[in-house]
Amino acid sequence: MRQSQLFTKTRREAPKDEVAKNAQLLIRAGYVYKEMAGVYAYLPLGFRVLEKIKNIVREEMNAVGGQEMIMTGLQNPDVWKKTDRWDDEKVDVWFKSELKSGGEVGFGWSHEEPITEMMKQYLSSYRDLPQYVYQFQTKLRNELRAKSGIMRGREFVMKDMYSYTTDEEAHKKIYGSVIDAYIRVFDRVGLGDRTFLTFASGGAFTKFSHEFQTISDVGEDTIYVHDAKKVAVNKEVYDEPVVYEELGVKKEELREVKAIEVGNIFDFAGIKSEQLGLYYKNEAGEEMPVHLGSYGLGITRLMGVLVEIFADDKGLVWPEAVAPFRVHLVQLGTEDEVKTEAEELYRELTGNGVEVLFDDRDVRAGEKFADSDLIGIPQRVVVSQKTLTEGKFECVDRQSGTTSHKSLSELISYLTHA
Amino acid sequence: MRQSQLFTKTRREAPKDEVAKNAQLLIRAGYVYKEMAGVYAYLPLGFRVLEKIKNIVREEMNAVGGQEMIMTGLQNPDVWKKTDRWDDEKVDVWFKSELKSGGEVGFGWSHEEPITEMMKQYLSSYRDLPQYVYQFQTKLRNELRAKSGIMRGREFVMKDMYSYTTDEEAHKKIYGSVIDAYIRVFDRVGLGDRTFLTFASGGAFTKFSHEFQTISDVGEDTIYVHDAKKVAVNKEVYDEPVVYEELGVKKEELREVKAIEVGNIFDFAGIKSEQLGLYYKNEAGEEMPVHLGSYGLGITRLMGVLVEIFADDKGLVWPEAVAPFRVHLVQLGTEDEVKTEAEELYRELTGNGVEVLFDDRDVRAGEKFADSDLIGIPQRVVVSQKTLTEGKFECVDRQSGTTSHKSLSELISYLTHA
């Protein structure tokens, strides 16, 4: 895409009321727009990053047999009353309103209840199981404070998956597959080495739940990691000896770090199904509650975490897999031959399937480089009088800062085979 | 995808409270689930249709230079007060709630205000114009009655595009391009011949607006069409002589029909920009209000209209361009050789990029055919002992009912070159 046609512009300053680094940089670089505290619109660059993250997650959810669908934002109180989660005393993040036709209505902050209620239409026999269903849904949560940018908004995008199985054994199988799928997601977006499968408290249904936590100084959680085993323990359960039995590690081997929760996995066993009335007939003809697992992964939060982890003092730095474009093509100077060469390179690269943001604007070099650093596309390719004379383009890796010079064929080969 | 793994099932009966044909059939075939009156979840089959429609619209919006982004659902009252559209007396479809942090919040039923407010960050000079921006957004409207299934829900998906231009002349150019793009969309989804560009009343800002209306007995609007010129006049403005001057047709040449609005286009001129404070400096250095155009297209409504128009007494009938799958592969019988042949055909077709729903279930033929008719995939391909003996597969076109017999190579050639 041509930068001259992109409606967003970079800004020198973030809004004064924005304290989170991720939102500050994303606003300055034109990825997001702050609608209200904790409520952000995603502009063309930000929208592209979100879609890249979603597609990675989608591929991994499909690979474990997930069926994509989309639940509703509007929520029926009757369904939530069955599990005692409608009351504001029990759940403090509801947005609620009144239907003109009469009665209350809620706005979805989670979807375990409605999707389990829905499944009563479709699941009645052991032959109907297992089923794995997921969605990318915009969730609304009436948070009292919003101060972590897009990492904890009042409106955010989440991937939520639900597994419906006959029993604990079948549940453990999909549970393990989704953990593996999550590990692949975090590897693919470049967070694999600092993201830990973490033991946390399990709430009413099970002794423990699992989280994925990414080590980060801005994290709100404290966890204790075991580097060799690549597992961690949330502070909530740090003092429970049974954790160490299960993990097969010693408490003293762990180190304390700050971390941010990027995914969570709950085992509801048959409890929610019993509350909502989702039963199946087993092979012996007995009515049994369906075993429910719930698997969350915050899409917009993950984008915020990537900013917090990889950004440097010049601006954003995107891992290749989620960058809005692969190449930032920067044309320096407006001489005819530079223009022609830049246009031709733009055509060549896009013709070879490379996603390019083409800075064809008529602004000075310093501004172009500063914008390019701020926007953070992995590879910058410069076309100028100088590079024309040399017969090679200047290529700068955003993350390492390494500069190289490549001919057209070298560049295409590098970008399409990497 | 294997039908044995699809979690949805067909139903013989629709819910008793569901009066709209589109929702009745979509629920029975497992495309949508009714959460509440006017609120529907989209199940895997329905989700696929929605994505197909969105991608067609996306391609056409990108082709006219549209930049995709995503605004927020939560709405800031301050923005809407500037145009006097926050008051429930003025706009009667608001859902509203209270922020825990204090103050009211709305839920987006339209986005002209917030997107124009946002543009103040990015547009300040004639050099920044024109800009065309769009989104696919889930809108919430607190409708008093919901009785048209997914054609008029309380929660629905809309594509809304906005054009920001310097003046009337630049506006007319993009306005004409979007009309052409809409015509291409309706052609591609199979509604071209019965969808009319329609003159309607223009509200506060202009004498007329344009709608796209699709002729349908279940339509809520009355329009008067001119078949030769392929234009129409909404009843609202049927008695205004100036319409006929502009159209260059005679009132007597029109015929009255029922129709449903599938798209609308508004010219707000500079009014909303003046209310919200979106000005640009022209070449002479003068402050001018930015010219706003707004272009809506109902994605879920379009899906409902396609059902109403094409469904027959056996069930749904999808145009190829939006069908959830291209082929419904039906295996009849569970003999080893039938199974092997069906599995091989499934591999061959999917390997050639053909989207296939594979009915590998162990149920009787009558049920398979009834389900296949109800689900409405364009091409049914049957594998049975009989077709094995003949060395050709039986192919049935869902819309015409035409049966043909094709070898593997004939079938692949037909499906991949059609």
> How is domain B3-310 classified at the architecture level of CATH?
2-Layer Sandwich (3.30)
Per-residue pLDDT at B15: 86
The reported pLDDT for the residue numbered B332 is 96
Is residue B255 a contact partner of residue B216, using CB atoms and an 8 Å limit? no
Position B256 scores a pLDDT of 97
d(CA B308, CA B305): 5
Set of chain B residues whose Cβ sits within 8 Å of the Cβ of A92: 100
Average pLDDT over residues B316-335: 97
Residue A157 has what pLDDT?
A: 98
**Tokens describing residue A26:** 């994303």
Q: Which residues of A touch B142 (CB under 8 A)?
A: 97, 99-100
Residue type, A223: I
Q: Chain A window 274-293: which residues touch B at a Cβ cutoff of 8 Å? A: none
Measure the CA angle with vertex B270, ends B268 and B271; round to 5°: 70
A362 touches chain B (CB under 8 A): no
Closest CA to A369 of A328, A404, A318: A328
Flag whether pLDDT at B204 surpasses 80: no
Query: A118 and B68: CB-CB below 8 Å?
Result: no
Q: Quick check: B291 pLDDT over 60? A: yes
Q: What pLDDT sits at residue B418?
A: 56
Checking if the pLDDT of A205 tops 80, the result is: no
Quick check: A418 pLDDT over 70? no
Looking at the complex, report in whole angstroms how far the Cα of residue A159 sits from the nearest Cα belonging to chain B. Answer: 15
- Establish whether the linkage from the previous residue to A130 is cis, with ω within 30° of 0: yes
Q: What is the pLDDT of residues B74-89, one digit of tens each?
A: 999 999 999 999 999 9
Question: In chain A, which residue's Cα lies nearest the Cα of B125?
Answer: A7
Delimit the CATH 3.40.50.800 region(s) of chain B. 325-417
Tell whether A394 is within 8 A of chain B (Cβ): no
What is the amino acid identity at position B120?
Answer: K
Q: Mean pLDDT for chain A?
A: 96
At A143-154, the pLDDT tens digits run 999 889 999 999
Residues B387-412, mean pLDDT to the nearest whole number: 95
Q: Would you state the structure tokens that stand for residue B381, as one six-digit string?
A: 């391909």
CATH for B325-417, among 3.40.1190.20, 3.40.50.800, 3.40.50.300, 3.10.129.10? 3.40.50.800
Residue in B52, B295, B70 with CA at minimum distance from that of residue B171 = B295
Residue in A37, A69, A96 nearest the CB of B47: A69
Query: Which residues of chain B are within 8 Å of residue A142 when distances are taken between CB atoms?
Result: 97, 99-100
Lowest mean pLDDT among A349-358, B131-140, B243-252: B243-252
Of A43, A69, A144, the CB nearest to B41: A69
Subunit contact B105:A71, Cβ cutoff 8 A? no
pLDDT computed for residue A24 by the predictor: 97
- Which tokens is A374 given? 């701020």
A7 pLDDT above the threshold of 60: yes
Query: pLDDT tens, A280-307?
Result: 999 999 999 999 999 999 999 999 999 9
Percent of chain B with pLDDT over 70: 99
The rounded mean pLDDT for chain B is 96
- 3-class SS of residue B73: coil
CA A50 to chain centre: 7
Question: Does the structure show a pLDDT above 90 at A202?
Answer: no
A418 in contact with B, Cβ within 8 Å: no
Rounded Cα–Cα distance for residues A214 and A309 (Å): 9
CB B229 within 8 A of CB B255: no
DSSP assignment of B336-405, as one string? Answer: HHHHHHHHHHHHHHHHTT--EEEE-----HHHHHHHHHHHT-SEEEEE-HHHHHHTSEEEEETTT--EEE
| In the predicted structure, residue B30 carries a pLDDT above the cut 60 | yes
Helices marked H in B2-43: 21-28
For residue A417, what pLDDT is reported? 75
Confidence of residue A55 (pLDDT cuts 50, 70, 90): very high
- What pLDDT score does A246 carry? 86
- How do residues A310-358 score in pLDDT, each as one tens digit? 999 999 999 999 999 999 999 999 899 999 999 999 999 999 999 999 9
- Measured distance between the N- and C-terminal CA atoms of chain A, rounded to whole angstroms: 21
Q: What is the pLDDT of residue A37?
A: 95
Count Cα neighbours of B132 within 13 Å in the Cβ-side half-sphere.
Answer: 18
CATH code 3.30.930.10 region(s) in chain A: 3-310
With cut-offs at 50, 70 and 90, classify the pLDDT of residue B417: confident
Task: Tell me what pLDDT residue B101 has.
Answer: 93
Question: Is the Cβ of A71 closer than 8 Å to some Cβ of chain B?
Answer: yes
pLDDT for position B274: 97
Band (B102; pLDDT cuts 50, 70, 90): very high
Q: What is the pLDDT of residue B246?
A: 86
The confidence band for A204, taking pLDDT boundaries of 50, 70 and 90, is low
pLDDT at B205 exceeding the cut of 70 = no
* Look-up of token digits 């002479």: B284
The distance of B140 to chain A (nearest Cα, Å) reads: 8
The contacts of residue B391 (CB under 8 Å, 6+ apart) are: B407
Q: Does B205 touch chain A (CB under 8 A)?
A: no
User: What pTM does this model have?
Assistant: 0.97
Interface test with B, best of A10, A64, A69, A94 (most B CBs within 10 A): A69
pLDDT of residue A15: 86
Best CA proximity match to A289, nearest among A163, A167, A134, A117: A167
Tens digits of per-residue pLDDT, A64-78? 999 999 999 999 999
Distance from CA of B136 to the nearest CA of A (A): 12
